[in-house]
Chains A and B, each alone.
Chain A
Amino acid sequence: METLEWLRTPELRAVIMPGLVGGLAVVVTCAVLSVLVVLKRLAFVGQGVSHSAFGGIGIAAALGYLGQAAAESSEGGADLSWLVSSAIVLGFCVLSAVGMGLLSDRHGVREDTAIGVFLVASMALGGLLLSYSVRKGKLSGSSGYESILFGQILAVSWPEAYAAIAASVVVLLIVWALRRAMFFWAFDEVSSSAFGVPGRAMKLTMMVLLCIAIVTAMKIVGVVLATALLVLPGATALKVSDRLRPVVAVSTVVGIGGLVIGVVTAIEFGELPPGAAIVLALCVLFALAWVVSAALRRFATN
C-alpha cells in the first residue's frame, strides 16, 4: 500500500504528518460545530462565511502576506506571513459575518439575501485582488488559486498544524463553556430569550466560532469545500441517532473517518487532490448513513 510506504519513509512521513495532525484537530472541531450548524440550519451561513474567506485571502495577497512576496520578505528569518495572512482572513470573515447579521437584523434584508450579497461580493473582491497580486508578481499564476479553493493538506507545515490545534482547543473550550446556553438557544431561540439567554451574543459567538473553524479548515479542504466539514459530519450523525451525546460522538468519528479515508484515497490513487477526496469521502459516509437509516426505519415499520 502506498499509504504505508508514506508512513514508513521518514521524508514522506515528514510531508504527511503535519497535515494529518492539524487536519485531525480541524475535523474534530468542525464535527462538533456541525451538529449545531445542521440543527440551527446555519449551513448557508457557513457557506457565506467560508466564501468570504476568499476576499480576505485577496487582501492578504495584495498586502504581500501570501505566496512569493511573503517568502521573499521573510528570507533569512522566521516566516510568519501565514499567521498574518490567517489573521487577515479571520478578521475579514468575522466582519463579513457581522455584516450579514446587521444587514438582515436591522435593515430588513432577508438573511439568505444578505448572505448571498456578502458571498458574491467577497468572491469578486478576492478574485480582483488575487489577479492584481499575480500581475504585480506577488503571487504565482493559477497554482495558488487551486490550493486556496480546494486546500492542500500535504503542504501543511508543523507551525500551521500547531496553530490549528491551538485554534481547535480554543473553539472546543468555548463550546464546552457555553454548551448549556448554546444548546438552549439552538433548540428554541425565541423561548430561550424569554428565559434570559442572550440570543444575540449566542449568535455572534457562533459566527466567530464558525469563522475560526473555517479559517483553520481552509488549508485542509480549501475555501470552496470548507462548508463540507461543517455540515456533513453532523448531518450524517443525525441520521444515525436522535440522542445528543451519541450524535456528537458519531459526528466526530465521521469527521475523522472522512479525513483518513480521503487522504488515503488521494495517496493510493496518485495525483488526486486530498481536499476533494476528503469531502467526497464524507459525502459517501452521509449517503451510507442515509441508506442504512432508511432501511432500518422500513424494517422497523414492517
Chain B
Amino acid sequence: MSTSAAQLTLPRNGAQHRGGAIEIQSVSYCYPGADASALDGVTLRVDPGERLGILGPNGGGKSTLLKLMLGLLPMQGGKISILGMTPGQARRQGVVGYVPQRLEAELGFPLSARQVVELGATWRLPAWKRVSRECRDRVERMIGLVGAAGYADRPIGKLSGGQVQRVLIARALAANPRVLALDEPTVGIDAVGQQKFAELLGTVHREIGLTIVIVSHDLRAIVAGCDRVACLARKLHSHVSPQGLTPQILAELFSHDLAGLRGVIGDVHVHAHASGACSDCGPEDGPARESAELMKGTDGNA
C-alpha cells in the first residue's frame, strides 16, 4: 500500500490536541442493581498513535470501559478525555471509529459491502447534498486498504465473518476518525483469520497512524498487534508492553477465567487451565493446577 498517511487523513477537530490521545482518570462504574462495581478506579493514558490492547477475563470490565470511552454509558466517577474532549463530545464529532463484534449488525440488510462502508462516511451529510467525489474516493481507499475491493459489491449478508470484519473496519476508517476502537475483533475467527487480522491492523496503523484501542479476552489478538497492554479485571492490574506480561500478571488477571487460555507472547508460552486433565500436559505434570502455567522458551505444543 503506497498511499501516504497525509492522503488518508483529513484535519478535523481534536487533531491539534497535545496531551494523550485518551486519558482515563480514576474511572469507576457500577451497573444499576449490581452488587459489585464493573470498574474500580481505573487510570490509563494512551499516547497519540499508540496501539493499546485491553486484556482481561470475561466480566472484567473491558466492554464497560470501551462503552464509557465511546460515550455510550454515562460517567459515574472519574474522568475520560478523548483528544481533550469528553466522550460525548468525541462521539458527536465522530472522533472515534468503532468496530463492533461482527454479529451486532443486521446482516440481512439489503446493503452491499460498499454501501455499509459509505454509511460511516456519509451519514452526517445533509439530505440534499450529494456524496462528494472526495468522500467516494476515501470510501474506495479504505475498502482497498482493508483488502475488501474484491467483494465490495456483494451483499453484506453473504460475506464470511472475516470479510464482514474487514468491511466494518473500513466503515470505521471511512468516517475519518482519530481513534479506532475494536471490541473483541477476533471472536469467531479461526487462527489463520486472526493472523490476517493482525497483519491488517499493522497495515492500518502504518498507513494512517491512528491511535488504536483493542478490547479482547484473547491473548493472541492483543499481543499480535499492540504496543502496550492494559490488564483489566475490574481494576487495572498492569499497563505494560506485551513482553512485560509476566506469568504472575497473567495468573493474577485470569485467576477467575483460566480455562482455554493459550498462546505465545514473544518467547513466553502461555498454557493455562483451571483444573482437570489436559492432553498437552504429561503425566509428570501432576494434579490439576489452579493457576496459569507459563513456560519461558518453549514452543506452543509443550
Residues of A participating in the B interface, judged by any CB pair closer than 8 Å: 39-40, 176-181, 183-184, 186-188, 190-197, 238, 241-244, 246-247
Q: Which residues of B contact A187 (CB under 8 A)?
A: 105-106, 109, 111, 116, 119
One of A180, A196, A247 near B125 (C-beta < 8 A) = A180
Give 21 pairs: A residue, B residue, CB < 8 Å, sorted on A: A39-B108, A176-B127, A178-B127, A179-B127, A180-B122, A180-B123, A180-B125, A186-B109, A187-B105, A187-B111, A192-B119, A192-B123, A193-B91, A194-B72, A194-B181, A196-B93, A196-B124, A197-B123, A242-B155, A244-B110, A246-B110
Instruction: Kindly state the separation between the CA atoms of A188 and B100 in the bound complex, as whole angstroms.
Output: 9
Contact B127 A177 (CB under 8 A): yes
Q: Which residues of B contact A241 (CB under 8 A)?
A: 110
Separation in Å of the A180 CB from the closest CB of chain B? 4
Q: Which residues of A contact B175 (CB under 8 A)?
A: 195
Contact A238 B123 (CB under 8 A): no
Instruction: Kindly state the separation between the CA atoms of A186 and B115 in the bound complex, as whole angstroms.
Output: 14
Instruction: Kindly state the separation between the CA atoms of A278 and B112 in the bound complex, as whole angstroms.
Output: 33
Nearest B residue to A237 via CB reads: B110
Separation in Å of the A93 CB from the closest CB of chain B? 26
Contact A244 B111 (CB under 8 A): yes
Q: Which residues of A contact B108 (CB under 8 A)?
A: 39, 238
Q: Is the interface of A mostly helix, strand, loop or mixed?
A: helix
Instruction: Kindly state the separation between the CA atoms of A224 and B240 in the bound complex, as whole angstroms.
Output: 62
Separation in Å of the A192 CB from the closest CB of chain B? 7
Q: Which of B87-128 contact A (CB under 8 A)?
A: 91-94, 96-98, 100, 104-106, 108-112, 115-116, 119-120, 122-125, 127
**Given A188-B100, A188-B105, A194-B70 contact (CB < 8 Å):** yes
B14 is an interface residue with CB less than 8 A from chain A = no
Top 6 A-B pairs ranked by shortest CB distance?
A: A194-B98, A188-B105, A177-B127, A242-B155, A180-B123, A184-B119
For B134-173 the 0/1 string (1 means CB < 8 A from A) is 0000000000000000000001011000000000100000
Contact B123 A181 (CB under 8 A): yes
Given contacts A180-B119, A180-B123, 11 further A-B pairs with CB under 8 A are: A180-B125, A184-B120, A187-B109, A187-B111, A188-B105, A191-B98, A193-B70, A194-B72, A195-B98, A195-B123, A196-B94
Contact B72 A243 (CB under 8 A): no
Separation in Å of the A90 CB from the closest CB of chain B? 24
Contact B109 A39 (CB under 8 A): yes
Instruction: Kindly state the separation between the CA atoms of A181 and B71 in the bound complex, as whole angstroms.
Output: 18
Contact A242 B120 (CB under 8 A): no
Instruction: Kindly state the separation between the CA atoms of A238 and B72 in the bound complex, as whole angstroms.
Output: 32
Nearest A residue to B109 via CB reads: A187
Q: Which residues of A contact B106 (CB under 8 A)?
A: 39-40, 186-188
Q: Which residues of A contact B112 (CB under 8 A)?
A: 243
Instruction: Kindly state the separation between the CA atoms of A180 and B106 in the bound complex, as whole angstroms.
Output: 16
Separation in Å of the B139 CB from the closest CB of chain A? 13
Nearest B residue to A41 via CB reads: B106
One of A39, A179, A183, A195 near B94 (C-beta < 8 A) = A195
